């Protein structure tokens, strides 16, 4: 068992203020595999104070952006050397297949570090524009102390989508990992020290919801960057609104994959498998509504069913595993509740259902529903598990209408033999990120959603404030 008895605050490992602990439970064995301190409001006060002092009095925001980018580049180098360890740690704590950890959970954060390190070398911090009475300097300055609150499903990816641009911008950061997945953040803290990031610039305190809310409302925090459920996002938005605190919110999704009639199904299934079932279906961008024309509906249902049935369910440490367990028992119960609701509403499970694959571990059977309509709960609510719903459409306009008929607008995709036509479809779907014959998130592009999927976009601009300096002569 892994044991941690300190928190990372002010560039050092410090004793927690309380005696509470967080037990990390393996989703595969249901056994406790690690124990870490449960951060308290007092610990958050100390972390914010360290970040505040580093921002107000330290060298970090006073360095040039290029100098900060060089430090982030060093962090990328350290991260690169420990990718394998990071992948194994995330699989241990949250149960995603080791192949996905090696493909995305560790490499994607590294890619973001490298991207923002490079961007920071050339990003224009100041520009001069002609004004009414003389030249105007438009300057970009760091937003301040950032509270980064991240979920358990892709912990390092979400941390880095906030941390990498925030560091390059000149912000200091307090990270609150989810209590289900604190272990990867300890590994990250070791890397931060090795890379020589100044003390107090990054602070990490794993904790539960109450302590997280204390962090959000803390007067020493200038900006909140949150990724998680829409319900929690509404609460955070309310707190930030009362205090006029900057915030970006990346929330839930119920994304639609539109399969056009010219799609070559056999070649699409490999990519669609990753897009819809990645991370055991525990991804806000998962393409879980599959839209198929009535002309090819039965063919698409069969192709999806074969694709899902071909996934090996089992030990996430086994490279042959395609789908592992869900993160927690409550998550398994939630997903099984949706499968039950789909059956009760009249949808037909053509693969999977309520029979559990194993007696031990928080597994559910990967499930495909046919004969579904877009007004069913399984089509409207985020399930966050390996459950796909195949919905028929009449024509392309109807497919776009169904895709847009959602409270969410985070991601989406179109599958067609004509990429240019796919882009034309993409332009008509109101969602923050979209893929043509694929689904991905690129660090070179803003990430966020429309409607209940959030407010704002992640990226360098999210951590910068604009200042205008006008002068005569």
The residue assigned the tokens 């928190």 is: 7
Q: Is residue 345 flagged as an active site residue?
A: no
- Cβ-count burial 268-307 (b if 16+ within 10 Å, e if not): bbebbbbbbbbbbbbbbbbbbbbbbbeebbeebbebbbeb
CA pair distance 327, 152, nearest whole angstrom: 8
DSSP-derived letter for residue 197 is: P
Helix 83-94 with 107-119: angle, nearest 10 deg: 130
Catalytic position from the list 263, 284, 382, 458: 284
Task: Collect all residues with Cβ–Cβ distance below 8 Å to 442 and sequence separation of at least 6.
Answer: none
The verdict on whether 240 is a catalytic residue reads no
Residues linked to residue 291 through DSSP beta bridges, in sequence order: 258, 391
Q: Is 19 exposed, middle or buried (0-12, 13-18, 19+ CB in 10 A)?
A: exposed
Does residue 266 contact residue 234 with C-beta atoms inside 8 Å?
no
Other beta carbons within 10 angstroms of residue 127's beta carbon come to 10
Place of tokens 């760091």: 142
Distance CA 55, CA 85 (A): 31
Cα 274 from Cα 272, distance rounded (Å): 5
- How far apart are alpha carbons 219 and 208 in whole angstroms? 19
Active-site entry in 93, 180, 213, 250? 250
Give the catalytic positions in this structure. 250, 284
């Amino acid at each position: 068992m892994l044991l941690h008895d300190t928190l990372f605050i002010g560039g050092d490992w410090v004793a927690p203020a309380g005696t509470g602990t967080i037990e990390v439970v393996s989703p595969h064995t249901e056994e406790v595999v690690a124990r870490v301190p449960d951060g308290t409001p007092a610990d958050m006060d100390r972390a914010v104070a360290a970040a505040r002092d580093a921002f107000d009095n330290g060298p970090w925001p006073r360095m040039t952006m290029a100098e900060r980018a060089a430090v982030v580049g060093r962090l990328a180098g350290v991260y690169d050397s420990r990718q394998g360890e990071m992948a194994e740690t995330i699989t241990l704590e949250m149960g995603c297949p080791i192949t996905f950890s090696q493909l995305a959970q560790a490499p994607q954060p590294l890619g973001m570090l490298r991207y923002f390190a490079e961007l920071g070398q050339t990003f224009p911090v100041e520009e001069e524009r002609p004004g009414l009475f003389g030249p105007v300097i438009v300057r970009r300055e760091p937003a301040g102390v950032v509270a980064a609150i991240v979920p358990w499903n892709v912990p390092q990816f979400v941390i880095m989508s906030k941390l990498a641009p925030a560091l390059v911008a000149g912000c200091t950061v307090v990270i609150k990992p989810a209590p289900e997945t604190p272990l990867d953040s300890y590994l990250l803290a070791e890397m931060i020290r090795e890379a020589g990031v100044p003390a107090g610039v990054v602070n990490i305190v794993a904790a539960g919801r109450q302590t997280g809310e204390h962090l959000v409302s803390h007067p020493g925090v200038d900006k909140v960057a949150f990724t998680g459920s829409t319900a929690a996002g509404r609460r955070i938005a309310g707190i930030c609104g009362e205090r006029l605190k900057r915030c970006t919110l990346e929330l839930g999704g119920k994304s639609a994959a539109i399969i056009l009639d010219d799609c070559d199904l056999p070649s699409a299934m490999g990519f669609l498998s990753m897009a819809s079932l990645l991370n055991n279906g525990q991804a806000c961008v998962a393409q879980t509504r599959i839209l198929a024309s009535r002309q090819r509906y039965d063919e698409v249902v069969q192709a999806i069913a074969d694709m899902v049935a071909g996934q090996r369910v089992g030990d996430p440490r086994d490279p042959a595993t395609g789908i592992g367990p869900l993160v927690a028992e409550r998550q398994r119960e939630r997903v099984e509740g949706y499968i039950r609701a789909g059956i009760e509403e009249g949808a037909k499970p053509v693969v999977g259902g309520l029979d559990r694959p194993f007696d031990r571990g928080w597994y559910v059977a990967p499930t495909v529903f046919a004969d579904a309509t877009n007004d069913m709960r399984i089509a409207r609510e985020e399930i966050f598990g390996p459950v796909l719903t195949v919905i028929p459409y009449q024509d392309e306009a109807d497919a776009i209408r169904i895709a847009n008929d959602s409270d969410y607008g985070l991601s989406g995709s179109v599958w067609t033999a004509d990429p240019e036509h796919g882009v034309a479809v993409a332009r008509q779907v109101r969602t923050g990120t979209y893929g043509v014959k694929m689904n991905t998130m690129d660090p070179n592009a803003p990430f966020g959603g429309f409607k209940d999927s959030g407010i704002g976009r992640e990226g360098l601009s999210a951590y910068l404030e604009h200042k205008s300096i006008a002068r005569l002569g």
